[in-house]
Amino acid sequence: MAVKNEGDIVFPACMGLLTLRLLGGFEGRLSAGPPLTLPTKKAQALLAYLALRPGQPHPRDKVAALLWGDKKEEQARHSLRQAISSVRKTLSHASPRCLVLEGETIALAPSAVEVDAVLFERLVEDGSPPALERATTLYRGHFLEGLDVKEEMFEEWLMTERERLRELALEALARLLSHQLKNDLDEAAIQTGLRLLGLDPLQEAVHQILMRLYFKSGRRGAALMQYQRCVEVLQRELGVEPEPETKQLYQDILRRTSPTSPGEMPQIPEAGPRRRKSTATRFQFHAPESSLIGREAELSQLRQAVKEARKGRGQTIAILGEAGIGKSRLVEEICAEAIRGGDLALVGRAFEIEQVLPFGPWTNALRGDKVIEDPRIVQSLDPIWRVELARLFPELGVPGLELATDPQNAVRLFESVAHLLDCLASRQPVLLVLEDLHWADEMSLRLFSFLSHRIQHRSVLLVGTAREEEVAETPILSQLLQELDRGRGAVFFTLSPLSLEEAGTLVRRLAQARVGESALTRLEEGVWARSQGNPFIIVETMRALQDGDSFEVESTVPLPKQVRLVVAQRLERLSDRAKRLVAVAAVVGREFDFAVLERASGLGEAETAEGVEELVRRRVLHGVEEHFDFTHDRVREVAYSQILPPRRKLLHGLVAKALEEVYAENLEPHYAALGIHYRAGEVWNKAVAYLRQAGQKAGTHSANREAVMYFEQALEALGHLPKNRETLELAVDLRLDLQPPLNTLREVGRIVEYLSQADSISEALGDKRRRGSIAAGLTAYYATVGMNTRALEAGERALAIATELSDVSLQVVAQHRLSRAYCWVGNYRRAIELATRSLPLIEGRPMGERFGNLTGVASAVTRVPLIVSLAELGEFAEGVAQGEEAVRIAEMVGQPFSLIAALSRLSHVYVVKGEPNKAIPLLVRCLDICTNAQAPFHLSLVRAELGYCYLLTSRVDEALPLLEHSVNESAPGTRDQLHRCWLSEAYLFTSQWDRGIEVAQHALDLSRNNKERGNEAYALRLLGEVAAQKDSPDPRAAEDDYRQALTLAEELGMRPLIARCHVGLGRFYRCEGERKKAEEHLTTGVSMMREMEMGLWLERAEAALKELG
């Protein structure tokens, strides 16, 4: 007979053949048709009962009693007849006929049916490796799993058959595993071993085999995790520890001892599991991994979110709650379910000691499941995104493409992570979890926020956890959560303590059944009084009960002290060796390698392995891939608090030295940890060096707050070293290092404080080059806060030093900052001269070079004052050309702050020229970049310019909020005097005369105070407009303001403003009835505007001249 494959079973290819799958549930089909639908579960049970022995006749009365034992004989036989009728109807298209009814018996025709359970038994009996492999594939689950007919006799039969088939499956898997081991089929053996443990997790020999196989195949982390699972299941089910052989194997793997050869693998019991009796003589504790109590609603929502993500509808979920409330446990549960469902689960965690380490939790998460090492994923990424990702994962670097190092380039890095997630999600749905966000660095939180807006139409579920009590103390996290809440794209869970009933359920599940009911009741009450429903305290209390000979559950101690007391009692019962390792691990404060623990503890390899095994077995530590961490932060906190300060200092130094030795070939990822530990260990010279390197690395990741923190810690550590020329020069350099991140953060007061200190030190050293750098920094500071005279003095001093020393980098920086200062005071010709002098110095250098500590790419940002000055002088063609070149450069290097500056200044040319419709798309793009890059300095400028463009195009409702927000929120010195003029003009347009006058007068006062003469001219013209057009015009004031503005604009060469002043005076004189003067000024203004092609301004001027007749 011809055959065909259907799934994993070989079936005859005849029309209407009945196929039944009884392993793992119940499913019937006729040939390749849809699943059969039987009307009742008892009809299914009847068919399954007959199918397990095809061809065997079954007496009707026996079948009736089996399925309807609670009914009288006649009723039972009637129910059987109905069930037979429904089965016959369902199988009416079967060929040949399935049901065989002969007299008082009923059977299934063997030729008409194929049953997976029957085929499974035949294959196991065959016993050949191919047959065993097919048999184990057929065993998808327990016999008739999920079928419940609530009949005692049937349930007895079902349990007997289910256990018989399960034992056959165990035998088949054991024999197959033996064959695979003998033939070095390691990967297949791993999968078989996992399936065997799925059926019987108590087979310790199989746990050992998997540990050896994982280690042999280079998966040391998986081998260590397998031991952890073995510990958990033996403790949970039997209340025993692993056998000495298993413990020794774990220690060997920790020490990286060569794995045992396959011939020395433990023997596998083929006829069922080797049972171990519990040796417990006192209260026993079940591992918490088995129980998730009181979180059904939250788990249900998470499951639904996973389902939605699988459909391409991603979302963000924030899980909040106090320490120990069960956030990690909930996340662990949904991750396990997601993995079982075929999803990719990536989990990263922030650590208290690393909360200033940029992107720490992200690198931790994205290295999970070795996705970064998968060549298929790497090759699918565009090289430009691989270069960006190489800032986090150096191994992704592309030969021939330079590694991105710009400290401001956050947006492109964020985009690269988004592209990586897109790549992963295109292969399988992604669940990405970041735990303990309250300890995350600023850049990690910004990336979390960025991605939360990008995943809504992707197969990605983003989950973050945080301690609720820490949120208020973490402003950036608080802001992130508020933004997510406002965006309505996120779901928030706040986990509450377990109820009294739920806490009691957890206690009972953690306890062995042999504990008496009265004892359990007292235990529940005591644990509830101590924990008030906090799951962590419940679990730790139960563990303490297990570890101790006696333990009274007291309820009178305050909650925080209760936690410390419970954990401390557990730690006290450890061996001396384990206690020593716990102290070192607590000082490390993060995930750590075995090698680091060994070296820092001073114990030998064997002793360290024994100690770690004990700590994992006692659930003080747990494995995270090949690393280790505390099972809960509270455990680490208690362990650390027990270390006396002198020993802490010693241990920090030992940990730092261990890190240096273990990671000697690649220290860069560990700069922060090294600096922190050496600082705590008071090894000041190394602390300074590593903290400075950590700050520089943070800067390359745009982690400005973290960079500032590292540099300041380095300065503090430097203060402990002897003062000599070397340390004093380093003190200057560290203060100069602080300028770019502080400037980006707009913390200008701290900039001048550090620069002043650096100047005093440099002067004492007689160091001209450093004094020149400081003078250039002071130029930027003074100009930012409106102290323009001092800015010019400092800038000229910096330029003189640069010229004297022939220092090209310093010359570029000094000329750029001096050019900006001259632009702000209205000396546009001098600004153009200085900016133009810098261009030849930059030409031929790498396009992305920053020349010292400029906040952007020199070839782009040095053009900014040039572009603005050309616009104010009416040299629009050259201004547009320089602006477009700056945009091109900034786009090529992918530097967001340079691109913001270039786009906004090019748009300014169009605004001055009267072409707002050309400026608007540039500014909208710019606004998006500003928002993602969190650039408050540029944000206010862009909002103001965009608001003014909206005003010029009659979009007043959009214009006014933007202008008001910009003026109210802008930092000093961001050309906000001009922004005030634009806001005043908006008030004038909406007839808010008093507010318009107030704002314009304020702009004039500030401009004069800061000696910003260009802005002063703008403010005077606007005051003329207000005086001429308000409800009660003031002709004398209007004429005076217009003429002052015109005179000043002519002095500064501001041709576009000169033309607008002429037009304003023309309109004024027309209203005053002085036609000749009106015509003279309007004609002049129109002529100038035509020459400069001033778009909207020209249209309005020509309309005014036409009205004059």
SS (H, E, C) 187-198: HHHHHHHHHHHH
pLDDT score at 287:
40
Q: What is the pLDDT of residues 675-719, one digit of tens each?
A: 999 999 999 999 999 999 999 888 777 678 888 999 999 999 999
Residue 622 has φ and ψ, to the nearest 5°, of -140, 155
pLDDT score at 454:
83
Report the C-alpha gap between 949 and 916 in whole angstroms. Answer: 5
Interaxial angle between packed helices 1013-1029 and 1055-1071, expressed in degrees from 0 to 180 and rounded to the nearest 10:
20
Residue 8 has φ and ψ, to the nearest 5°, of -105, 0
Report the chain's mean pLDDT, rounded to a whole number: 84
Highest mean pLDDT among 329-343, 399-413, 512-526: 329-343
Q: Which are the contacts of 899, defined by CB distance < 8 A and separation ≥ 6?
A: 860, 887, 890, 891, 926, 929
CATH for 290-494?
3.40.50.300
Residue 801 has pLDDT above 90, yes or no: yes
**678-714 exposure pattern, b = at least 16 Cβ within 10 A, e = fewer:** bbbbebbebbbbbbbbbbbbbbbbbbbbbbbbbbbbb
pLDDT score at 660:
95
CATH architecture, range 844-974: Alpha Horseshoe (1.25)
Residue 504 has pLDDT above 90, yes or no: no
Q: Dmax of the chain from CA atoms? A: 126
Residue 368 has pLDDT above 60, yes or no: yes
Higher per-residue confidence, 897 vs 670: 670
Q: What is the pLDDT of residues 849-893, one digit of tens each?
A: 777 667 778 888 899 999 999 999 999 999 999 999 999 998 888
Residue 934 has pLDDT above 90, yes or no: no
Q: Which are the contacts of 749, defined by CB distance < 8 A and separation ≥ 6?
A: none
Residue 170 has pLDDT above 60, yes or no: yes
pLDDT score at 492:
82
Residue 252 has pLDDT above 50, yes or no: yes
Same fold, 722-840 and 844-974: yes
Q: Identify how many contiguous H helices and E strands the chain contains and give both numbers.
A: 52, 15
Q: What is the pLDDT of residues 134-167, one digit of tens each?
A: 999 899 888 988 888 888 888 889 899 999 999 9
Residue 493 has φ and ψ, to the nearest 5°, of -115, 135
Q: Superfamily assignment of 722-840 in CATH? A: Tetratricopeptide repeat domain (1.25.40.10)
CA distances from 790 to 3, 767, 1014 (A): 94, 21, 18
Yes or no: say if 981 and 1019 are a contact pair by the CB < 8 Å rule.
yes
Instruction: State the pLDDT confidence band at 271, using cuts at 50, 70 and 90.
Output: very low
Domain positions in the chain: 3-160, 290-494, 500-573, 645-718, 722-840, 844-974
pLDDT score at 8:
40
166, 176, 177, 57: which is closest to 121 by C-alpha?
A: 166
Please give the structure tokens belonging to residue 394.
């150096």
Lowest pLDDT segment from 124-128, 324-328, 1104-1108: 324-328
Higher per-residue confidence, 257 vs 349: 349
pLDDT score at 579:
93
Is domain 3-160 in CATH 1.10.10.10, yes or no? yes
Residue 345 has φ and ψ, to the nearest 5°, of -110, 120
The share of the chain scoring above pLDDT 70, in percent, equals 88
Lowest pLDDT segment from 143-157, 378-392, 653-667, 912-926: 378-392
Report the C-alpha gap between 709 and 692 in whole angstroms. Answer: 10
Residue 12 has pLDDT above 50, yes or no: no
Highest mean pLDDT among 5-9, 168-172, 478-482: 168-172
Q: How are the residues of the chain apportioned to helix, strand and coil, as percentages rounded to the nearest 5?
A: 65, 5, 25
> What's the distance, CA 291 to chain centroid?
28
pTM check: above 0.75: no
Report the C-alpha gap between 927 and 1055 in whole angstroms. Answer: 29
Higher per-residue confidence, 552 vs 264: 264
Average pLDDT (518-531) is 73
pLDDT score at 547:
59
Please give the structure tokens belonging to residue 662.
């273990």
Average pLDDT (391-412) is 62
Instruction: State the pLDDT confidence band at 296, using cuts at 50, 70 and 90.
Output: confident
pLDDT score at 279:
44
Q: What is the pLDDT of residues 743-796, one digit of tens each?
A: 777 787 888 899 999 999 999 999 999 999 999 989 988 888 888 999 999 999
Q: What is the pLDDT of residues 591-630, one digit of tens each?
A: 888 999 999 999 989 999 999 999 988 888 988 778 888 8
934, 916, 1079: which is closest to 982 by C-alpha?
A: 916
DSSP assignment, residue 556? -
Please give the structure tokens belonging to residue 758.
């650096």
pLDDT score at 688:
96
pLDDT score at 276:
53
Q: What is the pLDDT of residues 632-679, one digit of tens each?
A: 877 888 899 899 999 999 999 999 999 999 999 999 989 999 999 999
pLDDT score at 1088:
96
Instruction: State the pLDDT confidence band at 400, using cuts at 50, 70 and 90.
Output: low
Please give the structure tokens belonging to residue 518.
């009265």
Average pLDDT (87-92) is 83
Lowest pLDDT segment from 381-385, 670-674, 838-842: 381-385
Residue 991 has pLDDT above 80, yes or no: yes
Q: What is the pLDDT of residues 402-455, one digit of tens each?
A: 544 554 457 778 888 888 888 888 888 999 999 988 888 888 888 888 888 888
Instruction: State the pLDDT confidence band at 265, using cuts at 50, 70 and 90.
Output: low
Residue 28 has φ and ψ, to the nearest 5°, of -125, 145
pLDDT score at 272:
44
Residue 558 has pLDDT above 60, yes or no: no
Q: Strand, helix or coil at 313?
A: coil
Yes or no: say if 1041 and 1021 are a contact pair by the CB < 8 Å rule.
yes
Give the β-pairing of 105-108 and 9-12: unpaired
Helix (H) or strand (E) holding 746: none
Instruction: State the pLDDT confidence band at 284, using cuts at 50, 70 and 90.
Output: very low
Residue 280 has pLDDT above 60, yes or no: no
Average pLDDT (956-982) is 80
DSSP alpha helix (H) spans, 953-1074: 956-969, 976-989, 993-1010, 1013-1029, 1035-1052, 1055-1071
Residue 37 has pLDDT above 60, yes or no: yes
Give the β-pairing of 315-321 and 460-467: parallel
Please give the structure tokens belonging to residue 54.
């095809």
